[in-house]
Amino acid sequence: MSIEPPLPDVVEVDSEVTLRRSFDTPPEVMHSLIHRNLEHLGRFLPWALPTYDIEGAKAFAQMKREAWNESGEQGFSIYFKDEFVGAVGMRGFDSPVRAATIGYWLSEHAQGNGVMTRSVSALVRLAFVTYGLNQVIIKAAPTNTRSRAIPERLGFTETGLERQMSKNVHGELLDLVIYSLLRSEAAGRVF
């Protein structure tokens, strides 16, 4: 599948935050940051395992490259003041109901600066304005207050709960609170 217009290689969010295709970040750099954040990320994400190694980072980059070209799944690395600090991705360009889902993570040391809220805001803009999608969805575990604060800050509506549909590195099944923003709700608002 090809996406029109083509997915951007770089999104300049503002003077401090830039998104670049995730597979353009060297696997060594990706590995280093994730490795330093295993405990922080593993509380809510299933893939931040102690076994995560440089080969895993290379395989991830290859997978993202293929996804970008073949399914239009966007995976961006986030740079804050030119430093690689995390990732944000959006999938669903090929959804028959034009609904995209956004996921994200940030290094522990980069939290508290609005980097993710600003990055997600830029992807919402891209989804509605550039690609004419109808809905953007974000899901977060009930206890993940920092993650839930992002869609809440951006005016998403809480629409439901998926029971035990996620897992952390400890093998615990987690519920997911669903947040949604419709194109009609975003109209006239600044993202």
Ligand X SMILES: CC(C)(COP(=O)(O)OP(=O)(O)OC[C@H]1O[C@@H](n2cnc3c(N)ncnc32)[C@H](O)[C@@H]1OP(=O)(O)O)[C@@H](O)C(=O)NCCC(=O)NCCS
For binding to ligand X (CB under 6 A), which residues are involved? 40-41, 44-45, 104-106, 111-118, 140, 144, 146-147, 150
Residue whose CB is less far from ligand X, 3 or 35: 35
Residue whose CB is less far from ligand X, 3 or 56: 56
Nearest to 38 by CA among 27, 51, 57: 51
Decide if 174 contacts 166 (C-beta within 8 A): yes
CA distance 75 to 152: 22
- In the complex, the smallest distance separating the C-beta of residue 69 from ligand X, rounded to whole angstroms, is 26
- In the complex, the smallest distance separating the C-beta of residue 88 from ligand X, rounded to whole angstroms, is 8
Q: How far is CA 152 from CA 39, 44, 52, 137, 148, in A?
A: 25, 18, 32, 12, 6
- In the complex, the smallest distance separating the C-beta of residue 24 from ligand X, rounded to whole angstroms, is 20
Residue whose CB is less far from ligand X, 95 or 113: 113
